[in-house]
Amino acid sequence: MEKKKLCLALYTGSVDKLTAAGVILGGAAAEDMDVEIFILLQAAFAFKKENAMVNDRVAEITDKKDDFLASLKRLGTPHWTEAFRKAKELTSVKIHICGFAGKVWHGEKLDDFIDLADDICGIAQYIQTAEVADLNLFI
């Protein structure tokens, strides 16, 4: 039986949604799905080497940011980068940085981004992947 495929367009650069994406990746890994993630605009900012570990912006309920971050710590929730890394260890996960998004944040080459990124590509690759995926999510 052929593995199911998940295509994830990750637009957000906020820790709340990146954490949620990490949870989804954990589920996809548990289901042994092939996953392709396309890092778009704000997410490209979060994937830059200098931003990944200090990214504490939240998109939802911004007045509760401190409570949210404290809860992640209290629950022992791994940083979103570790959730992504673990998923890559457990199943086939490819992370593509959108070339345009990278350039917006002065990321011209793969080395400008954290080591989870596999390549830099154009948006056409996302569209082609989304067309054949069993599940396509946009976060």
Give the CATH number of the domain where residue 59 resides: 3.40.1260.10
Domain with 75 in it: 5-138
Residue 9 vs residues 42, 72, 77, 124, 126: alpha-carbon distances, Å: 11, 24, 23, 12, 8
| pLDDT tens, per residue, the chain with 139 residues | 789 999 999 999 999 999 999 999 999 999 999 999 999 999 999 999 999 998 788 988 999 999 999 999 999 999 999 999 999 999 999 999 999 999 999 999 999 999 999 999 999 999 999 999 999 999 9
pTM for the whole structure: 0.94
Domain count, the chain: 1
Cα(26)–Cα(93) distance, rounded to whole angstroms? 11
Cα(62)–Cα(39) distance, rounded to whole angstroms? 23
